[in-house]
Structure 1
Amino acid sequence: MRPRPAGEALLARRAAVRLGVQAAVIAGLIVVALTAVAVVVLLGAQRAQVATQLQRAIVRADDVADPPDGMYLVLRDRTGAVTVTPGLHAGVADLGAVADAAAGGSPPTVERSVDHVQYEVATELRSDGTTVQAILDLTVNHAERNRLLATMFATGLAGLLVAGAAGTWLGHRALAPLSAALSLQRRFVADAGHELRTPLTLLGTRAQLLRRRLRRDPGADPEVVAEVEGVVTDAGRLTAILEDLLLAADPVGARPREVVDLTDLCRDVVAAAEADATDRGIDLGLDVGDPVHTTGSAAALRRALTALADNAVRHAARVVTMTVRVEGHTAVVDVTDDGEGVDPALAPRLFDRFATTSRPGEAGRRRYGLGLALVAEIAAAHDGRVALVDTAGRGATFRLTLPVAPRNL
C-alpha cells in the first residue's frame, strides 16, 4: 500500500485529534456531573453522620470528663452550674445557646470557627432537666472529605486523559479506511488528470494550428472557421475544468477566489450548449441585464451552470431559458425548461448523488442525478445553494443563488 500524501495524513491526524478532544469533553461533562452528584451525596452523608454523633453524645452524656473521640461537652444542671470538658478552646462553647435551651428554647445546630478549626455545636434540654451542649471537632471529617474530593479529582483527570487518548486512537482507526479510500480517489483523479492533460494540450494545439491555416486560406468556409474557433475555446475550457477538478480533489488545496461575471459566464455556457440544443430541437435563450458579479472559481461555476443547462435541455419540450439577476445581496441564476417537471417523490433527494428516477414513457429506465449533486457541492463551496423552484407542474426551474461580489453592492 502506497503511503498517503502528507496533506491527507495531516488531515487524518487532525480529525483523529478532534475526535479525541470531543471524547474527552464528553467524558469530562459526564465526570463533572457524576462528581457533583457524588459530592452532594457525600456532604449529605457527612452531615447526617455528624448530626447522629451529636445527638448520641447528648443522650448518653453523664459528665464532661469522658466524651467520645473528637467531642467536647458542656453540661448545665438544674441548679445552673455549668461544667465544660477540659481542653476546650475558649470561645467555642455557646453559653448563650445553653441558657436558651435551659429556658425551654430550641437553639439550632450551628457551625463555628475558632482558631481556623471548624466545630459543629448542638444544644438540647434533656428530660432529666440537664442541658447538654455537644461540640464536635470537624477536622477529621473535613480531612476525610478533602481526601475523597482529591481522589475523585485525580481519578476524573486520569479518566479525561484516558478518554482523550482512547478517542484519538479509535478515531485514527475508524478514519483509516476512509482516509485510504479518499487517498485512492485522489490518486485516481490525479492520474486521470495527468493522462488527460497531454491529449487536451495536443487537441488545443492542433485546433489552433488548424484555425491558423484556415485564417490564411481565403477560400475557407466561414462556418468551418467558426466551428474551429469553438473547438479551440472548448479545449481551453476543458483544460480549465480539468485543473479545477484536480484542485477539488486535493484535500488541502484551495480553489482560486476571483471576481466572476456570471452574465458573461452564462453567455459562454449558452453558446457552448447551443449545438446540442439545436440538435434536440430546443430553443435555448438567455435573459440578462447588467453584469452580475460573484466571487469564486470561474471554472467550477462554469461546470455548475453547464450541468444545469444540460439538465434543462435534456428534459425540455421546446424551450429553455437562463436568467441572471441580482436580488439584494444575492446573485440569482434561474434555468427554466418547459418539460414535464420533476417527480414530487424524487424532489427531496434530487441533489443527492446517484438519485434515480424513471422518465415518463420510459418504464424501467433509470437515470442518475450526478450532475445536480455536483451543482449542489459547487454552490455550497461558494457559500451559495441550488434549489428546485415550485412551478405548479409547468416544467422545472432550478435556481442557483450565490453571494454578490462587492462591486455589485
Structure 2
Amino acid sequence: MTRSPDERVLRRTAWRVGLQTAAAVAVTVAVLGAVAGLVVLRSQHHAEDQLVRSAIDQADDVGDPPAGTWLVVLDGERRSATPGLPAGLPGAADLRQTAQDHLARSSDVHAGGREYRLRTEPFRNGAIQVVLDLRGEHEERERLVQALLIAGSAGLVLAALAGAWLGRRAVAPLAAALALQRRFVADAGHELRTPVTLLSTRAQLIRRRLRKGGDPAALASEADELVRDAGVLAGVLDDLLVAADPREPPADRLDLGRLADEAAGAARAEARARAVVVRTETGRAPVTGSEVSLRRAVTALLDNAIRHARREVLVHVAREGRAVVLTVTDDGPGIDESVLPTIFDRFSSGAGDGGAGARRRYGLGLALVSEIVARHGGSVTAGNPAAGGARLQVRLPAARFPETTKNSPAG
C-alpha cells in the first residue's frame, strides 16, 4: 500500500511522539522504582535492627532465638551457640574484640552461599552475637524488582502505543491542513491551466488585430469571447474555493426542488447552444444546508450532463421517505464501467462519448459534488440506465421546517 507524503509524515510523527512518551514513562518508572527500592531497603533494615534488638534483649540462653536468627554467647572462655548455626559462623573475631573493649559491632558476611547480618554486643562477662539470615529480605527485593520490570515493560509498550495514538490524533488536524493545501494547489494548477491559457491566447489575438486595424465587429466578437472565458475562469475559482472550504455548511432551510429549477433555468442557455433540451420534474423537497454549496453541486451535475448529452437532460427531484433524491439523467454515451468506481475522484476520465477516440471527461466538478453532498450528510451515486445515457443521483436527508423556505416564493 503506497502512502502519501503527508501520511508518511503523520506516521513518523505519531511514532516519534509514542517513543518520546515511552521514554518519559521509562524515566518515571526508573525513578519511582529507585524510590520504592530505597523505601523497601530502609524498611527492611529497620525491621532487621528491631529483630536483632529483640533477640538480644530476650536472650537468656541460646536455645530459643527468634525465627531466622541464631545466638552465640561468649562467656569468659566458654562459648555456646544455637543448634543449626550455619557453617563458617560465628564471627569469632568480633566476639573476642567486643568481649575485650565492650563495643558493639555490626557486619554482613557470606557463608554457604548466603548473606548474614552479624550483630555483636557486650553480654554479661563476655559478648553475645546474633546471626540473622538475610535470604528473606533478598527474595523480597528480587520479587519487587521483577514486579517493577514486568509492570514497567508492559507500561512502556502501552505508553508507546497510547503515545502514538494520541500523537496521531494530535497531528491529524495539521496533516488535514497540509493535505487540503496540497490538494488546493494541485486542483488550481490543473483546473486553471486551460482557461488561463485561453485567456492569454485570446488577449494576444485581440492585441494583434488592434495593431493591424482589424474589423471592429470581429474585435467585439473576440472581446465577448474573452469575457466568456473570464466567466469560465471565475466559475473554476468558485469551485476550487468551495472544495477547499473546511467549514461545516450553514444550516439554511432549502427547497431542493426549487433550487434545481433555478439551476436548470440558468443552464438552458448553454444547453440551447449545444442543441440540448433541459427538462425538470421537481416537487417540494425540503433539505437543510448551504444554498451556495448545493447550488454549485446541482450546477456541476447539470454542466456534466449537458456537455455529454445528445438531445436531452432530465432533472428529477422528489422526496422518498426520510430522504430527498435529486437525479440528473442525460442521453449521452454513458459512463465507462471501468471509470464508475472512481468517477467521483479528482480528474477521473473515461472513454466513450460516441465520437471516434473521444473521451468522456470528469475534472473537478463531480469530485466537488461528492464532497459537498458528504458534508451535508448525503451520498451520490452514478450509473448507466438500461435505456442508455448516464444517471447521477444525490440523496440528502430530508428536513422538517415551516411552510416557507429560504428559496421558496412567498405565498
Alignment TM-score, normalising by the size of structure 1: 0.49
Alignment TM-score, normalising by the size of structure 2: 0.49
Which has the larger Rg? 2
